[in-house]
Every structure is written in C-alpha cells, then in structure tokens.
Structure 1
Amino acid sequence: MYKVMLVDDDYPVLEFLSEMINWEDLGLQLQSVHGNGLSALIEAEENMPDILITDIGMPKLNGIELTKKLKEIDPSLLVAILSCHNEFHFAQQALKLNVQEYILKDKLNAEEIVQLLRQFVETLDLETKKKKNQLRLVTTIEQNKGWMLERFINRTIHHPIHSEDVWKEEAQLLGFLPNQNYMVIFCFIDHYQTVIQSFRSTELVHFLVHNVITELMSGEHINAMHGQFYQNESFLFVPLNQEWDKETKKIKNFLQMIQETFQETFGISLLFEMGRPAARPIDIKEQMVNLIDLKDSRNRINNEIANACKYISDNIHRKINLEEVAQYLHLNSSYFSRLFKKEVGETFVKYVVNMKMNRAKELLDQTNYSIIEISELLGYDNQSYFNKTFKGSEGISPIEYRNRLYKREMKI
C-alpha cells in the first residue's frame, strides 16, 4: 500500500479527511496526521510518505515550505495543497514545486478527494511499474555485461589485436577507462572439481565468485572489473593511479580479504597471480597470457614435485639418490635439485633422510623388529651408519628411543 500523510492545523479538516475516506479500498494507508508542518517534516525524515495532503497556512512550518523540503528528499512525492486562500501567488508557488493539485477548502468535497487519490494511485502504479522495468533492464544489461566481458577476455587472449582503437572502444563499453593503467590479476579456484562436487553446479560457483568479489569491491570502493575466463579461472582488472607502490599494497590487502572471505564463508580456496601495471591493449594482453602460462607452469611443477615425493615414499625401503628420481621424471638432475629445494623448502637428501627417520620411528613404536632389521628395511647396509643418522636427526639413538617409549608404557 502507498502511504499518505495529512497535515493541517484545522482539526475538523483532518477529522473529515481521516473518517470520510476509505483508505484501504483505495490501496492506501493513512500513515499519520499532523497539526503543523514541523511535526510532519520530522516524521517524514524517518518515514517518507508517497502522498502528502497539506494545508498552506500553519504554525512553525507552512505547507509550501514543507512541500519544498520533502521534495528535496523525494522529488517523486505526490502533493495536494489545501488552502482557504485563492490568491494567485499561493497557486503560483505550488506550481513551481510541481504540486499535483491545489484545492480550496471552501470547495472541499470527499468524492473529489477520492477521485484525486485514485489518480494518485494510478500515477504511483505506473511509476512503480516503470521502476521495475528499469531494474529488470539494468539486471539484464549487467548479466549480458558479464557474458560480454567473458567473450572480450577470451578474444583478447586467443586472437590477435588487429586494431587497438576497436579494442579500446569495446573495452570502454565494458567499463574500462581510456588511457588508464590496470593491474591485471589472474584468479583461480584451488581443487576446483571438489568445489563443483560440493556445490553441484558450475554456474552457481561462477555466480558466487563473481558476485562476492563484486560486492567486496563495492564495499571497499574499488572501481575494478571482474570477468570469467574459463571454468575455475577469471580475471580482475584494477585501475591504478601514479602511486603504484601504495596501490599495489592496497590491492594485496584486498586480495587477502577476498581469500579470507571465501575460505571462512564457503570453504573455497581462491588463489591469485598478480601481473604488472599495463595500459596499452597489447600490454594488457601480454600480462593476461603470461599469468595463464605462469599458473600452468606452476601446476606442472607441483605435479612433478608431487610425483617425486610419491616415488620417494614408494621406494623408502631402499637407497634412493637424486639422479634416479630426476631420471624417473625425465628432468635434468641439477634443475631438479634446485626445483625440489625451492618448492619443498629443503634439499632432496634431507627430505629423504627425514622420510626414512619418520618411518624408522613408526617401526620402533609399532613393531618388534630389531634395530638391524629396521635399518635393512629402510635400505641401510650398515647399522652403525643408520644409528648415527637417527641420532643426528632425533638427538638419541634408536635403542634409546625404543627404551624411552617402553619406560613410558611401563609407568602407565
């Protein structure tokens, strides 16, 4: 229902309008009645009516001033002025404020007021329908904008840029600013298939990622654009000013906030790769392609290291050297050595020793194998060398480790 506010310092008029009109039948709600303009203004600032019926001559704040102030808050407010005055200058002021009706009190007629209110309701219905259509249009445009941006991103990556002017023209339609430096950021979902199985819909996941990032950008007043690229991958374009260092720090903090939001709220691990600032179409394209290649390269490296670690685990019962594993992976041994240390955080030899020592502790804890049998199970030909390696890793000999465990069990 639309809300109506009555304002008049003449109580009989308020009583007449309140009781003689069946507001609900008209699809209206009589929100409130007021004996002066100031009281009406105070309420309207908290609870704005759709229709105002007001007297002109009132204490504290007259009807013209009240109308003016409320129109400043909501220009679409519908107003009918009641007055005992028929002087032209009052009607003139009302017209300047786009007042819909000017009614003389001495000609006040309930049926005429009802007819006026019906017209007001029709006007409000049309306005409501218009707003709904506008909202639907904006929603459609935004949905198409996402689809258009996705196509734009794919064309930029997969096809040559024959004309920078044409590229810029399309980019501006999608929200890119002309001659603006952008930080290009590649976004991707870790363990994508697991996420899809959890949400059971690729469309839902893509919708979720886009809308949450967009809402967070809006909340942080970051005028960036986010567009889908392929399955679990999308791009974020963040405009930069000249203070790139400060902006880059701000962007990193923002990306961390996005990651925390997705992890804590949805259990989704969203990862990012940041490029370098770029403004020219060819430079933006280069950053996008480089970021995709970087991610693919890291995936390949991660797979190689994962395969190496599995190979070590599967062959922990015998001697293993770096050259053997590098050959298994078809990699140069020097390159593999550097790669392994960079990705795992320790040298190949130390990793293998730690794996063997962890396995040795399991055997000492859970089996009755002798120390020499355990050393042989882990590929050591010499028990004394095994003892020395174990003590260097754990600070005590294998027999001391087992005896300490035995003593703890005896106490229990």
Structure 2
Amino acid sequence: MYRVIVVDDDVAVLEFLEKLIPWQEIGFELTGAFTNAFDAIDHCGTAIPDLIVTDIGMPEMDGLELIRKLRSEAQATQFVILSCHDEFHYAQQAVKLGVQDYILKETLSVESIMGIAEQTKSKIDDSLRHRHEMEKLTDQAQKSKAVRKEKWFRNLMLNPVTEDGSMMEQLREYGLNPNLGHYIPVLWRIHSFNAAINRYEKEDIVKFIVENAAEELLCEEPDVVFFSYSAQEFCLIYAFKKDLASNPYDKLVRVSRMLQQAFSKYLKLEFSAIVGETAANGAEIRRQLPDLLSNADQFFYFDEPKIVRSKEIPPITNQEDLFMHYFEYSERLNRLLLEENRNVEQVVDSFIQFIKSRRFQPSNVKQMVWKLALDMQLKLIFSQEYAKEKAQQSIERMLNVNEIRNWLLQFMKEAVLRAEQISKKSKKTEIVDAQKYVMLHLDRKITLEEVADRLHLNPSYFSRLFKKETGENFIEFVTRMKMEKAKALIGESGNTVEKVAWMLGYDNKSYFIKVFKQHFGASPSQFA
C-alpha cells in the first residue's frame, strides 16, 4: 500500500481530504494531514510519502516552495496541487516542478480526487516496475562482471602465463590505473573458517558477504582492486606512483587494518593478510601471486590474525615425516579412552605443542589428526559415535593449529565420556577390565591365566564368563585386537613386518605372518 499526505491551511478542505476520501479503497494509506508546509517537511524527514496533495496558497511557505524543498529528497514522489487561482503562471510553475495534476478547489470532489489518485497509483506502479527491471538488469550485469572477474583471477593464480599487455588491460577494466606504474599484491585468508561456517552455515554465504563487504569498504579507495578467489581467500592489488614523499606500504597497511577491523566488528570474521613486494609490471605481479597463496599456509601457526609482509615470516620448510610419530601419539590418546582419563587437555596440548615446535606442513597435520580420530573410531571397542564424513570435512577446513587443538580436545572429551558410559552399561565389570588390560598391553604376550589372576578369578570360570559375555573366547579377542593394530601399524611409513611383529609381542616373524593371513586372508605385505 502506498503512503499519502495532505497539506492545506483551510481546515474544512483538510477535513474533506482526510475523512471523505476512501484512500484505502484505492490503495493508499493516509499517514499525515497538515495545516502548514513546515510540519509536512518534518514528517517527510522520517517517511517519504508516495503522493502529496498540497494547497498552493499557504502563508509563510506556499505549495510550490514546499515541492521545491522536497523534490531532491522525494524524487519518486508524485504531487497534486489544489488551488483557488486559475492562473497560467501557477500552472506553468507546477509543470516545471513535475506536478502530477492541478485541481481548482471549486471543482474539488470525491470523484475527482479518487480519479487523480488512481492515475497517480498507476504511474507509481509503472515507475516501480521500471525501477525493479533496471535494478534487476544492473544486478545481473554486476554479477556477470564479478563472475568474469573471479574466473580471470583464478586462472591467473593457477596458470600465470597471461601476456603482460593483456593482463594490464584486464586490470584497467577492473578499476586499476596502470599508469601509476607500480603495484603491491596482498593475499587475505580467513583465520578460522569453521567458525565462519558455524556462523553463516554455508561457504557460498561466507564468500558472498565477504565479497560485498570488501567491495563496499573499498569504494573510496580508487587505487585498490579486490579479487575474490575462494570462500577462504581473496586478494587486493594496490597501484601507486613511486615517489620519495610517501611510503606505499603505509597506505596499504592502513587500508588493510580498516578492512580487518570492519570484518571483525560487523561480520564477526577474522582475517590475516600477507603483503607482497613492489611489482613494476604484470609479470612481477604474476610471479608473486602463487607464492603468496602458498605462503599463506604460514598463517596456520598464527595464534591470532595478523597483517605481515611476506619477507617477515619464515617459510614452512620442515619435510620430516610426521607419521613417524603416529604410533606414539596414537597410544597416548588411546590410553585416555581405555583408562577413562579425564586429563585430556594435557595430552592434547602436548601433541599440539609438538606440532607447533616442529612446524610441520599443515596438510600433514590435518591428515594425522584425521587418522588419529579415525583409528579410535574404528579400532577401539570404546570408540565414540561420530559422523566420519562430517569430522573429515571439518578438519580439512581448519586453517590454523588452534582450530585443530580445539576440535581434537572436544573430540577426545566426548570419546572419554562415551567410554565411561559403555563401562557403566556393562553387567560384568570383570569383562570390561579384562578388555582394557588387553588394549593397554598389546605390545607383549598376554595369557588367559595372567588376566584371570589379575582379576582374582579362576581361569576356567573367567574363560567361560568371557565367552558368554562377548561371544568370542579370550584368545580370539586378544588375537583380533593385535591383528587390527598390526594392520594399522603396517600402513605406517617406516614400519617393516618384522618391526610390527616385535611391537605386538611376537618373537617369531613367520608365526606372526601366519596369524595375520588367517585373520585377514592376505599377507601383511599386501597392506603395506
């Protein structure tokens, strides 16, 4: 429904317009009736009406002056003038001001006002339809340009072989002035991507709001161009003219801090930025871009979002095989479950501190954490119920080591709690204790008599009880646990069959291979 106000110093006319015209029947809501132009202007300051019906001859400010005052703020508003004067110069001024109609008060009637109101409504409808169509076309054009811009930039990052002239022409098209002659690229990466997904639910939404916010924030920075790369990263290219009077990095840091603070305050998203070096042409920009993307992996070890120059942070050069340490940390985490140890934080933090001190490749860290979690889910009888695909996706999205730490800590707390719940549900605590004992001593020979003695039970009674409660005899259980562990260890880098046999308490390699074949129907070497 459209809004209408009426203005007339003649109270009788005002009451006629206010009370006798069925505005709602013709699609209007009467939001105000005023006896002077000043009150009408005050009202329009809070809500611009779609139609204003005003007297022309009012004291202090007449109707024509009222229209002049409002025209700049109410460009889409339609005006109808009421007048006692049938004079040409009044009508002429009204036409110049774009007035919809000019009515003599002596001809004023409900029908005439309704007829004009309906014509005005039709005109507003047409104007709105036209505006919506134009906005739709503009939006489509902007989206098309944004898609082309992102596609071009992604191709540049992945295949940096564009000719210099062609590249500079594209940068000009996207708003960068190539005549300035010097450029600095900046690569941005979100600090905690899982936090962003938790807040906005989907990657596309995160990407959309970041793109729109960045474009809006940079609209007053004519020499800085934004390029979207993914939901996690975007890039800025800053153009400047080299002189001794100013330092381009000072301005770039100012712009970067402005973006960083705005993203944090309004979007609740934290970003880090790595600032490249000065480039004198397109070829030098191209050479830097893939390196900046690769160097952004160094953000993985940042405790908090930062803005740094590429030459200020050491590269991740550790090529050590992280999985050489897998067995050690797998055992530590598994013991937390088996012993129902609530001191999870200490063990997790010890692992994270080890990762930080050695600065392993982030992709290897994430793979290691996923394998540790998966091992507990698949191999341990007390594993928690966890959605594997969701866990893997969550780990893969992690962009800093503190995200890894928080996720693993929560995972282990839930796992320990789950282990406790399973233990409490068991009718025979002796069986639970026996299973725990086996899992904690897979590195040596375990006999039925040894465990029975530990539980203060007769070996024959213990054997029958174990079979009754679990559906398998005790030796079968021990062998199954050792073989499952053997399969995991054989897949680890640097573990030979002989070494794995020794790690699981088998003195005879041939016997170990025989047992392994019986259990899996294949030799250990096929799992290496």
TM-score bracket for the superposition, by shorter chain length = 0.5 to 0.7
The root-mean-square deviation of aligned C-alpha atoms, in Å, is: 3.9
Distance 2:319 2:210 in 1: 30
Distance of 1:147 and 1:31 partners within structure 2: 44
Q: Which residue of 1 aligns with 2:50?
A: 50
Query: Any stretches of 5+ residues in structure 1 without a counterpart?
Result: 316-339, 345-412
**Alignment correspondent of 1:273:** 274
- Whether the 8 Å CA contact 2:6–2:53 is kept in 1: the answer is yes
Question: Structure 1 306/192 Cα, relative in aligned 2: closer, same or farther at 3 Å?
Answer: farther
Contact 1:4/1:32, CA 8 A, preserved across alignment: yes
User: Which range is displaced more, 245-254 or 196-205?
Assistant: 196-205
The Cα offsets for residues 38-65 of structure 1, whole Å up to 9 and x where unpaired, read as 3322322333222111111110101111
**Structure 1 residues 100 and 234, CA, compared in 2 at 3 Å: closer, same or farther?**
same
Query: Where do 1:129-278 residues align within 5 Å?
Result: 129-157=129-157, 158-162=159-163, 164=165, 166-180=166-180, 181-190=182-191, 201-217=202-218, 221-223=220-222, 224-229=224-229, 232-240=232-240, 245-256=246-257, 258-259=259-260, 270-278=271-279
Q: Counterpart of 1:119 in structure 2: which amino acid?
A: Q
Spell out, residue by residue over 1:258-311, the C-alpha distance to the aligned partner (whole angstroms, 9 max, x if none).
446666887865332211344633333233244235446998953617768986
Q: Which residue matches 2:66?
A: 66
Q: Which residue of 2 aligns with 1:322?
A: none
Question: Quick check: 1:222–1:238 contact (8 Å CA) kept in 2?
Answer: no
CA shift, 1:153, in A, is: 0.9
The answer (yes or no) to whether the contact 1:179–1:279 under 8 Å persists in 2 is no
Q: Report how far residue 88 of structure 1 moved.
A: 0.8
1:12–1:246 distance in 2 versus 1, CA, 3 Å: farther
Q: Which residue of 2 aligns with 1:394?
A: none
**SS class of match (1:57):** coil
The 3 A distance-change label for structure 1 pair 64 and 261 is closer
CA distance in 2, matches of 1:292, 1:205: 19
Contact 2:154/2:229 (CA < 8 Å) preserved in 1? Answer: yes
SS in 2 for 1:131: helix
The 2-side partners of 1:197 and 1:302 are apart by 29
Q: How many residues align?
A: 317
- What code does the residue aligned with 1:174 have? Y
Q: Kindly indicate whether the alpha-carbon contact (under 8 Å) linking 1:36 and 1:58 is maintained by their aligned counterparts in 2.
A: yes
Alignment check: 8 A CA contact 1:38 1:60 kept: no
Distance 2:237 2:288 in 1: 11
CA gap of 1:190–1:167, structure 2 versus 1, over 3 A, is same
CA offsets 1:174-233 (integer angstroms, 9 cap, x no match): 333342444311122457578668866432343343344345445xx4344332335633
What residue is the counterpart of 1:302 in the other structure? 316
Paired residue type of 1:14 = L
**Partner of residue 287, structure 2:** 286
Q: Tell me, in whole angstroms, the C-alpha distance in 2 between the residues paired with 1:230 and 1:175.
A: 21
Whole-angstrom CA distance in 2 between matches of 1:132 and 1:281: 40
The whole-number CA distance in structure 1 between the counterparts of 2:266 and 2:95 is 54
Q: How many angstroms apart in 2 are the aligned matches of 1:120 and 1:178?
A: 50
Aligned twin of 1:117: 117
Does 127-136 or 104-113 show the bigger shift?
127-136
Deviation at 1:90, TM superposition (A): 0.8
Partner in structure 2 of residue 383 of structure 1: none
5+ long unaligned stretches in structure 2: 301-313, 330-355, 361-528
The whole-number CA distance in structure 2 between the counterparts of 1:242 and 1:152 is: 27
User: Whole-Å Cα distance in 1 between the matches of residues 18 and 261 of structure 2?
Assistant: 56
Code of the residue aligned with 1:45 in structure 2: it is: G
Q: What amino acid maps onto 2:108 in structure 1? A: L
Q: Which amino acid aligns with 2:286?
A: K
Partner of 1:32: 32
The verdict on how the C-alpha distance between 1:14 and 1:247 changes in structure 2, with shifts beyond 3 A counting, is farther
Aligned to 2:104: 104
For the 8 Å contact 2:68–2:97, the answer to whether it is kept is yes
Aligned to 1:5: 5
1:222 maps to a residue whose letter is: E
Helix, strand or coil: the match of 2:45? helix
User: In 2, distance between residues paired with 1:38 and 1:202?
Assistant: 51
TM-score of the pair, normalised by structure 2 = 0.52
The structure-2 alpha-carbon separation of the partners of 1:15 and 1:242, relative to structure 1 and needing over 3 Å to count, comes to: farther
Larger CA deviation: 167-176 vs 141-150:
167-176
Question: Which digits, 9 at most, give the CA deviation of each residue in 1:328-381, with x for residues without a partner?
Answer: xxxxxxxxxxxx99989xxxxxxxxxxxxxxxxxxxxxxxxxxxxxxxxxxxxx
Deviates more, 1:65-74 or 1:176-185: 176-185
CA contact (8 A) 1:79 1:101 kept: yes
Secondary structure of the residue that 1:272 maps to in structure 2? strand
The code of the aligned residue for 2:31 comes to: Q
The structure-2 alpha-carbon separation of the partners of 1:271 and 1:309, relative to structure 1 and needing over 3 Å to count, comes to farther
Query: How far does residue 17 in structure 1 lie from its aligned partner after superposition?
Result: 1.6
**Length-normalised TM-score, structure 1:** 0.65
CA–CA distance in structure 1, aligned partners of residues 142 and 289 of structure 2: 23
| Corresponding residue for residue 378 of structure 1 | none
